[in-house]
Amino acid sequence: MTTPDLSSDYDLSADAVEQYRKNGHVLLRGVASTQEVQAYRELITRSTEELAKSYKPMSERDTYGKAFIQNMNLWVGDEGVRNYTLARRFAKIAADLMGVDGVRLYHDQALYKEPGGGITPWHQDQQYWPLDGVKCVTLWMPLVDAVADMGTMRFADGSQELGYLGSMNISDDSDEKLEKLIADKGYPVTYAGDMRAGDATFHDGWTIHGACGNSSPTKTREVMTIIYFEDGAMITPPDSPQRQSDLETWFPGCKPGDLAASELNPVVYTRKQ
């Protein structure tokens, strides 16, 4: 299957960069066109629907399991998805938002919130990653039009300033603790609201975020994400089981103190070329 080229530049405004750096997140419209998204959606959905067959019925899952079907590192096994995950357009936005010369891939993952799916609890992404002190950003893109009630993103504005809050996996516990923290700190909460296929949010690795449940009785919230980190970063010693697991999974053959640059972490954009 021939997939669209995603190497062209996106017109990223200075205001969008400023908003990202101030609030720890930004919503960008039309990062990919409807036609571009549709071609990749077919590949991503086919793989994710196959994985979904292994999931228990919704009533038998915990809060994390109810939040979404999670399909990771699709680019490794599918040349078509590879063109999406390693797209220059997306990676340049990530580099420009973070203000770095180049970015590497951490991993991609499809997050499909089924009809009736539960909330995605408040959490920080980077608490899972052995990358302390490293600039990281996550692209979050619906592959279908998604109204707010299908579970688009919500963010605690400015919460990235807190940095690492410790080991706190996505759970009822993280939701309760971070909900209280957001209230205590007085962080405004911004909702992405309705998003078209090809719109995207980008959020800092430390930004506290989550999503509401999917109240649609029939429509799945189909989302693809890509995580980037600054090129030249070093792996930090893991201080939790999840960080140890991520070190072994996403940096195979690497150890703390090494350059974060395994075969699974190609440079996806650099200004040096």
Taken in order 25, 52, 248, 226, the sign of the CA dihedral is negative
Cβ-contact 182, 208 below 8 angstroms: yes
C-alpha distances (whole Å) from 185 to each of 49, 119, 155 are 40, 22, 14
The domain spans of the chain are 14-268
Strands 120-123 and 102-113: unpaired
- C-alpha 125, offset from chain centre: 8
Cα–Cα distance, 240 to 186 (Å, whole number): 29
pLDDT of res. 273: 61
Q: Indicate the Cα dihedral angle 53, 121, 241, 58, nearest 10°.
A: -20
In what order do the strands lie in the sheet containing 153-156?
A: 120-123, 209-211, 153-156, 189-191
Count CB neighbours of 48 within 10 A.
Answer: 22
pTM for the model: 0.96
Q: How many angstroms separate the CA atoms of 105 and 233, rounded?
A: 12
- pLDDT at residue number 61: 96
pLDDT value, residue 2: 84
- Residue 272: the pLDDT is 80
Question: CB within 8 A of 62, min separation 6: which ones?
Answer: 171
Architecture field, domain 14-268: Sandwich (2.60)
**Can you give the pLDDT at residue 225?**
98
Enumerate residue ranges in the chain where pLDDT < 70. Answer: 1, 273
How many residues are listed for the chain in this entry?
Answer: 273
